[in-house]
Amino acid sequence: MATAPREARAQETSPQTTLRPIRMRPGARYTCFGDGLCCTDIHGLGPITRKELVEIRRLDPRGAGWDDGFEDHMLQPAADGGCHFLLPNQLCDVHARFGPEAKPEGCRRFPLGLTATPEGGRVTTFHRCTCRTLGERPELEEEAVLPALLDRRGRPKADRHVKKVRLRRKGKKVGFAAWRAIEAPLLDALQAGAAPAPLLGAEPFPRLAKAHWGAFAEDLLDERDATAFGVASAFFAEAMRLCLYPEERERWPWRPWAPAYDRAEARSPAPRKVDAMLADWVADEVWALSWADVVSFDVKRAELATRLALARRIIAGLVDLGTRADRAAAEAIMVVELIGESEHWTDLLPRMRPPQESSPAKAAKKKAAKKASRKKKRRRPDERRAASAA
Ligand code: SF4
- Specify the ligand 1 atom closest to the Cα of 103: 1
Give the per-residue pLDDT at 377.
Answer: 62
Name the H helices within 157-212: 176-191, 196-200
Q: Is the pLDDT of residue 388 over 60?
A: no
Give the per-residue pLDDT at 85.
Answer: 97
Radius of gyration of the chain (CA): 24
Q: Is the pLDDT of residue 154 over 60?
A: yes
Domain ranges of the chain: 10-161, 165-353
What burial class does residue 343 get, using C-beta atoms within 10 Å of its C-beta: 0-12 exposed, 13-18 middle, 19+ buried?
exposed
Distance 207 CA to ligand 1 centre (A): 40
Residue 155 Cα distances to 5, 9, 17, 313, 334, angstroms: 10, 8, 16, 42, 30
What burial class does residue 181 get, using C-beta atoms within 10 Å of its C-beta: 0-12 exposed, 13-18 middle, 19+ buried?
exposed
What would the mean pLDDT of 64-88 be, rounded to a whole number? 95
Give DSSP secondary structure letters for 348-361.
HGGGEEPPPPPPHH
Nearest CA owner, ligand 1 atom 8 = 39
- Specify the ligand 1 atom closest to the Cα of 108: 3
DSSP summary character for residue 376: H
What residues does ligand 1 touch, defined as CB less than 6 Å away?
39, 45, 75, 83, 85-86, 92, 94-95, 103, 107
pLDDT tens digits, 255-264: 999 999 999 9
Nearest CA owner, ligand 1 atom 4 = 107
Distance 151 CA to ligand 1 centre (A): 17
Nearest CA owner, ligand 1 atom 2 = 92
DSSP run (H or E) holding 67:
strand 64-67
Please choose from 35, 40, 41, 45 the residue to mutate so as to test ligand 1's pocket, defined by most ligand atoms within 8 A of CB: 45
CA distance 292 to 295: 6
CB-CB contact of 156 with 146 (8 Å): yes
- Give the count of beta carbons closer than 10 Å to the beta carbon of residue 237: 23
Confidence of residue 15 (pLDDT cuts 50, 70, 90): low
| Residues 6+ away with beta carbon under 8 Å from 25 | 122, 123, 124, 140, 187, 191, 283, 284, 287
What would the mean pLDDT of 180-206 be, rounded to a whole number? 96
Q: Is the pLDDT of residue 351 over 90?
A: yes
Give the per-residue pLDDT at 8.
Answer: 41
Percent of the chain with pLDDT over 70: 89
Confidence of residue 373 (pLDDT cuts 50, 70, 90): confident
What would the mean pLDDT of 131-136 be, rounded to a whole number? 96
Distance 80 CA to ligand 1 centre (A): 14
pLDDT tens digits, 167-192: 999 999 999 999 999 999 999 999 99
Confidence of residue 378 (pLDDT cuts 50, 70, 90): low
CA distance 339 to 155: 31
Q: What predicted TM-score, i.e. pTM, was given to this entire model?
A: 0.88
Give which of 34, 44, 45, 41 is closest to 103, Cα–Cα: 45
Give the per-residue pLDDT at 369.
Answer: 74
β-strand partners of 117 = 18, 120
Residue 320 Cα distances to 156, 250, 255, angstroms: 44, 11, 15
Q: Is the pLDDT of residue 1 over 60?
A: no
What would the mean pLDDT of 47-69 be, rounded to a whole number? 96
Q: State the amino acid at position 101 in one-letter form.
A: E
Q: What is the dihedral of CA 53, 54, 58, 60, to 10 degrees?
A: 20
Q: Is the pLDDT of residue 312 over 80?
A: yes
Per mean pLDDT, which range of 36-50, 116-130, 153-167, 374-388 is the poorest? 374-388
Nearest CA owner, ligand 1 atom 5 = 39
Nearest CA owner, ligand 1 atom 3 = 107
Give DSSP secondary structure letters for 202-224.
--SS-EETT--HHHHHHHHHHT-
What would the mean pLDDT of 358-376 be, rounded to a whole number? 67
Q: Is the pLDDT of residue 7 over 70?
A: no
Distance 39 CA to ligand 1 centre (A): 5
Confidence of residue 152 (pLDDT cuts 50, 70, 90): confident
CA distance 48 to 102: 13
Distance 58 CA to ligand 1 centre (A): 15
Distance 83 CA to ligand 1 centre (A): 6
Give the per-residue pLDDT at 372.
Answer: 74
Mean pLDDT, all residues of the chain: 91
CA distance 198 to 61: 51
CB-CB contact of 286 with 187 (8 Å): yes
Confidence of residue 13 (pLDDT cuts 50, 70, 90): very low
